[in-house]
């Protein structure tokens, strides 16, 4: 993969490169949130539609299923609530649309 650690980040880079190189005359914006977690307030506090990623780890550890996980206590989790991601995306889209048209 070269400088990319996995196929996920590689394909994101390929898609972004394609948008930048071929979309010069289009209102293109790249929005890359970090790990998305449960909501803060909308539609309800703590809402999530799956248990993948950090939510699955949290639930399984709270239920006693996951008792040990390796980690670095000096590293902070880079997460953002889902409703804040959507709000940011809508603001970003509005900004691009009003500048373009």
Judge residue 74's burial from the number of C-beta atoms within 10 Å of its C-beta, 0-12 exposed, 13-18 middle, 19 or more buried: exposed
Angle at the Cα of 50 (from 44 to 53), degrees rounded to 5? 110
pTM of the full predicted structure?
0.75
Among 8, 52, 76, 92, the one annotated catalytic: 8
Q: What is the pLDDT of residues 19-51, one digit of tens each?
A: 889 888 888 888 989 989 999 999 999 899 888
Q: For the segment 59-100, what is each residue's pLDDT rounded down to a tens digit?
A: 899 999 999 988 899 998 889 999 999 999 999 999 999 988
**Which residue intervals of the chain are DSSP H helices?**
7-22, 54-62, 82-100
Contact 42, 83 (CB under 8 A): yes
Annotated active-site residue 12? The verdict is yes
* 3-state DSSP assignment of residue 12: helix
> Can 8 be counted among the known catalytic residues?
yes
């Amino acid at each position: 993969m070269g400088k990319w650690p996995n196929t996920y980040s590689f394909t994101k880079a390929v898609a972004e490169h394609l948008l930048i190189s071929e979309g010069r005359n289009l209102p293109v914006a790249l929005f890359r949130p970090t790990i998305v977690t449960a909501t803060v307030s909308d539609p309800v506090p703590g809402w999530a539609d799956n248990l993948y990623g950090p939510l699955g780890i949290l639930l399984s550890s709270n239920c006693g299923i996951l008792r040990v996980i390796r980690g670095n206590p000096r590293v902070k989790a880079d997460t953002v609530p889902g409703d804040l991601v959507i709000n940011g995306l809508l603001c970003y889209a509005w900004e691009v649309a009003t500048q373009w048209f």
